[in-house]
Amino acid sequence: MSCFQVAVLASGSKGNATVMRCEAGMALVDAGISCRRIAQGMQKLGLHPEQLTAVFITHEHIDHVKGLETFIKKYPVPIFASAGTWRGIKQTLPRIDLQLCNRHILAPQTEITLGGLRVRSFSTSHDALEPAGYMFRYRGHAFGYVTDTGYVSDLMKRELEGAEVLVLESNHDPILLKNGTYPPPLQKRILGTKGHLANETAGHLLADLKTLPQQVFLAHLSQENNTPDLALSTVRGIVQRHRPKEKIQFYVTSQEEVVKNKEWEDYHEQNIFE
Ligand SMILES: [Zn+2]
Ligand SMILES: [Zn+2]
């Protein structure tokens, strides 16, 4: 049983945002859907953006920062990103007024503590200025978040070791991509070391971890070059082949629907019946 409640509000190339809650606080990872959708998504979970302890941004691509311009006008929540990502945000959102923003730099391979929550940033490999993944730790438990990376480095594997709950990119099937409608330069970008993670690579990352996560959210699925069933069967198949005696609870995230883990559902039920 994990102590992390995780709800992926949206995931994919049209927008990403995830809420994580534990006793030590509540964080939003990425703000790539409109501020209104973030607030509405949180409201459906019985939450309000002002309750957030902090926001963490992985990188400056629009599908990760779209809601930020409005968000910072409305909510005085601290926002963490690498220095390069802050520079990139200014390029992606030229009208953003960063003076309004409760802005903090968290460099990759460093960590901060907020209340009892430790948050560590680590480098990913993507065509952005200084992209990062995050690992959240509370009382010996850990929640990891990694999307938008072209490959899995040893550093990333080390950083993600011990995550009980993991949001992990499972972007595409290389064969669907090669046979699909994407123009060759875009295919090359996605398949490159600074692109996006294939289903197989996500599966091998899990199989290589010393301790398997209990729960994995498959994230940032391509709507053209993947399907939820294919992502799930590929990743699960690889894990089963390498770790036949172990079990992961998988959740497949969606561009439109909120996807919550069991801890979130259980918490909600408890509160209804109280
Ligand atoms: Zn993205
Ligand atoms: Zn990206």
Residues 191 and 174 sit within 8 Å (Cβ to Cβ)? yes
Its pTM stands at 0.96
Q: List the structure tokens of 178.
A: 């090669």
Tell me, in angstroms, the distance from the centre of ligand 1 to residue 115's CA: 29
Tell me, in angstroms, the distance from the centre of ligand 1 to residue 12's CA: 6
Tell me, in angstroms, the distance from the centre of ligand 1 to residue 272's CA: 35
According to the model, what pLDDT value does residue 274 have? 42
According to the model, what pLDDT value does residue 270 have? 66
Tell me, in angstroms, the distance from the centre of ligand 1 to residue 106's CA: 20
Total domain count for the chain? 1
Residues 261 and 16 sit within 8 Å (Cβ to Cβ)? no
Rounded to whole angstroms, the Cα distance separating 105 from 128 reads 16
Domain of residue 164, residue span: 5-273
* Per-10-residue mean pLDDT, the chain, length 274: 91 98 96 98 95 98 98 97 98 95 97 96 98 97 98 97 98 95 94 96 98 98 97 98 97 97 82 52
According to the model, what pLDDT value does residue 267 have? 76
| Residues whose CB falls within 8 Å of the CB of residue 224, separated by 6 or more in sequence, listed in order | 176, 177, 180, 181, 182
Tell me, in angstroms, the distance from the centre of ligand 1 to residue 246's CA: 30
According to the model, what pLDDT value does residue 272 have? 55
Tell me, in angstroms, the distance from the centre of ligand 1 to residue 270's CA: 34
CATH number at residue 164: 3.60.15.10
| Ligand lying nearest the CA atom of residue 128 | 2
